[in-house]
Amino acid sequence: MRQLALDALELAKGRGVQYADVRVVESETQDLSTRNGRVSQVTGSDSTGIGTRILAEGAWGFAATDDLSRDGIDKAVFKARAIAKASAMAKLGDVVLAPEQTWTAEWDSPCAVDPFRISVQKKLDYVLKVDEALRSNKAVTLTETSFHATRTRQWFANSEGSVIGQTRTVTGAGCACYVFKDGDLQKRSYPNSFGGQYQLKGWELIDEIDMLRRAPSLAEEAAMLHAADPCPAGKHTLILDSSQLGLQIHESIGHPIELDRVLGSEANYAGMSFLTLDQLRRLRYGSPIVHVVSDATIAHGPGLGTFAFDDEGVPAQRTDIIREGLFTGYPTSHESAGAISETRSNGCMRAADWDRLPLIRMTNTSLEPGVQTLDDVFDVPHGIYMETNKSWSIDDKRYDFQFGCEAAWKIRDGRRVRMLKNPVYSGISTEFWNVCEAIANRDHWTLWGVPNCGKGQPEQVMGTGHGASPSRFRGIQTGAL
């Protein structure tokens, strides 16, 4: 693959080309799932192809192919050049790239137990046991489990001399149970909704989340929800578990900070952002205890936004997004860094596959842990604690939101006193983060994986990471679905 990337680069370079890069990507994926004690899916797929970007006459061209013959690559290169020249006819100005030094590197993500070396039968045996444990509660109507693994190998080369190889292994799994009674459907998921937890790990993640241990209490909670009162409407002190807070970060911080969205290139697909350039280093985004980073380094953890280099050959970095409540930074690219007077990209360009153009994407956008214990976070006379996302909605500038959760609990004098069903909460992004008054410490911090973040046209679906610990917010509007 390395030599293929170098050979393709030589074809891409040529007269009139200001810059060129190529990515050769090989991926394999496996998905297993069960429903009500039966296997519902066992699928696997693989893909190999090459994509090339060419900057010519001050404009970009991109083309891709899965024909890896010299003739196939040559045709893709010719097409990329033709697109660049056509784009130059309609450009508003020349593309200017921030400088980056040359890198030669090869990197594999941490993976203690290769998920592709675990037999399909062993995986099925495990998820079927989880399914059975959920169904042991006679109130349960429907059960689901899932397992996912992806390995992506990539070689990147550019006309400035960088040659970078990376291999990333992602594993994910989750389970859920539903209880239907008297026309009402309630659900509980673990360790998160929408497929569970995903990290840059191997089979060891399955041992860590231990779904088999959690299954009985999960089923019991789903049944208990039917007897619970609806979540009360009004302004309440709200405590969110770390998984729900991860999605809150994703929607009300992660998407608004994407600089290409701010500059207008995402408007047609999913809107723009309230975080206009004049807000940088001026907007009070949150309370003084709110610190948010965009961190792709392995030191941050095995997140879906962790890598060694982005898809422009820029090393993974840690960037302050919110520091002591002040909005301080955007994720950038070679091209967009200059828009905020930065001299270098902070390494946030990623593509979903070989046939997609790199875009600015969230890496691991995380709320740094606080100093409070979990008891401190819950230490309020009255409040509501919500857990596990059920639904989300936010406007096209990522400002006005509403989220629903699977379960909630009434808090009195720091203790959970009764369960509540169908909880929702709503607010304005900056108002919400400005009333954050307690954040649990690192002992309760989890780096969650969101595997299904969509962006771009044609759409690119890929993973992001969000670290969070349970946190408390003052005077939030709550209610019931």
Sketch out the chain's domains with CATH numbers. 2-227 (3.30.2290.10), 230-480 (no CATH)
Residue 380 has a pLDDT of 98
Token reading at 293: 């980073």
Q: Are 381 and 277 in contact (CB under 8 A)?
A: no
- H/E element, 120: helix 120-135
Across the chain, which has 481 residues, the per-10-residue mean pLDDT values are 94 90 98 97 97 96 96 95 95 93 97 97 98 97 98 98 98 98 95 96 97 97 96 98 98 96 87 95 98 98 98 98 98 95 96 96 97 97 98 95 98 97 98 98 98 93 97 97 84
Residue 267 has a pLDDT of 85
> Strands 326-327 and 318-323, how do they pair?
antiparallel
Partners of residue 155 on adjacent β-strands: 24, 165
Token reading at 294: 């965009």
Residue 116 has a pLDDT of 97
Q: Are 262 and 277 in contact (CB under 8 A)?
A: yes
Backbone angles phi, psi at 176, to 5 degrees: -155, 150
Give, in degrees to the nearest 5, the angle at Cα 172 between 26 and 31.
60
Distance CA 325, CA 321 (A): 9
> Strands 292-295 and 436-439, how do they pair?
unpaired
Partners of residue 323 on adjacent β-strands: 326
User: Which of 171, 54, 168, 107 is CA-nearest to residue 315?
Assistant: 107
Residue 481 has a pLDDT of 84
The alpha-carbon radius of gyration of the chain (Å, integer) is 23
Partners of residue 421 on adjacent β-strands: 230, 407
Residue 240 has a pLDDT of 98
Backbone angles phi, psi at 7, to 5 degrees: -65, -40
